[in-house]
Structures are given as structure tokens and as C-alpha cells.
Amino acid sequence: MDKKLTNKQKRVLDALIGLYGEGITPTYRDLQEKLGLRSIATVYDYVKRLERLGYVKTEGKARSIKVVAPVMNKFPLVGAVHAGDPTVAVEDIQGFLPFPVDPRLHPHAFVLKVKGDSMIDAHIEEGDLVIVDPDMPASIGDICVAVIGDEATVKKIEKMKDGLYLVPANPKYKPIFINRDVKIIGKVIGLYRGISK
């Protein structure tokens, strides 16, 4: 598993990991739907390539795509981020946390602790840990971490009539217009919630 993946291959592997995270043992159709692809043959080709690279295994059954479990890797815990009103962005590393995310896929990933409740309807709660990849471009519909001046926040990117906004998943909070003062610092690629926070 030492060959570098293309961005599309990363997207497919991340989608597989995401389906497992939702409690779904994925089929090719599940993966096709998650990725929004029209052709199941395209999904099959991607999965076979990932299998040749050692990232997944298939066994010819209906639900046969298995992600080869990566080694637990440590990612830096970098301050905290509000899922509410923006908070001061802390850049110092407070420690390292182990997560089953392959560092070859996300070599610059880091972890932030969520404060606030503005993303509660997206199932991101206070005390959750979000894994952020600054190398993955965040697009419309993605949850990201953004910095506004010296403050950081976690929100979803959405397009509205007059432009792009950082949108909370809680009606108590207002969307934030994305202008030149807003810097998207990374896409949220994972979430960890402990039994007790």
C-alpha cells in the first residue's frame, strides 16, 4: 500500500470508509450512489484499482468490498474550533491522537475539538473531534473548517443567490457570507465521538 492515490481514488476510498462509518457494508451500488456516478462499471474499475494497490479486498459476493484496516496513526490535535459562533483559532499542537486513517491518504491531516452546537443537525456535537484535511479542496455541500480573521469555525459550504456561504446546521445561527476575509483551511473528513465527553 505504498503507491500514491489519485484524487479520484482517494474520493472512492473515503466514500467506502464513510459508508462503513455509517454502519453500511457497502455494495457497488451503495458506492455508486454515494459518489453520484452514473456507471456501475466506473465504480467497479475504481474498486479493482484500489484492490490492486492493497487498499481494499473483494470476494465476489454482493456485499464484498472490504477496506483493509489501516494502522492506527497519530494526528496532531490543534486547538479547538467552534461549531457555533467563531472562536479564536489556536495553531499550537496540544498533543497527538490515534485514528485509523492512512497518513499516506491525508499526510497533513489534523484533529480539532468542536465547541458549540451550530452543527448539531449534521450530527456534530460539542466535544466531538473532527479530522480535517487541509489538502482536500472543500466544495459546495462539504463540511469544512474556515478561519475568519483570527477566528475558526466549522460549517457546511452552500451556494445561495448572492454567493457562497458557511451554513450552520442549527436554525439558531446565521449563515456567514464567504468573502475575501474568509479562508477555508480544510475539509472535514472524519468525526470521532467518545462514549463520554
* Residues 163-187: tens digit of each pLDDT: 999 999 999 999 999 998 898 989 9
Distance CA 190, CA 178 (A): 23
159 is catalytic: no
What is the identity of the amino acid at 177?
F
Encode pLDDT of 103-141 as tens digits. 666 778 888 888 889 999 999 999 888 888 888 889 999
Asked if residue 158 lies in contact with residue 178, where contact means CB atoms within 8 angstroms, the answer is no
118 is catalytic: yes
> How high does pLDDT run on average in the chain?
81
Q: Which of 155, 161, 172, 187 is catalytic?
A: 155
Residue-level pLDDT at 88: 46
- Label residue 42 by pLDDT band (50, 70, 90): very high
Question: If you search the block for the grid coordinates 474550533, which residue do you land on?
Answer: 81
Reported residue count of the chain is: 197
- Label residue 2 by pLDDT band (50, 70, 90): very low
CATH class label, 73-192: mainly beta
Q: Which of 34, 118, 156, 187 is catalytic?
A: 118
Per CATH, domain 7-67 is 1.10.10.10: yes
Distance CA 126, CA 113 (A): 8
Distance CA 71, CA 98 (A): 9
The domains of the chain are located at 7-67, 73-192
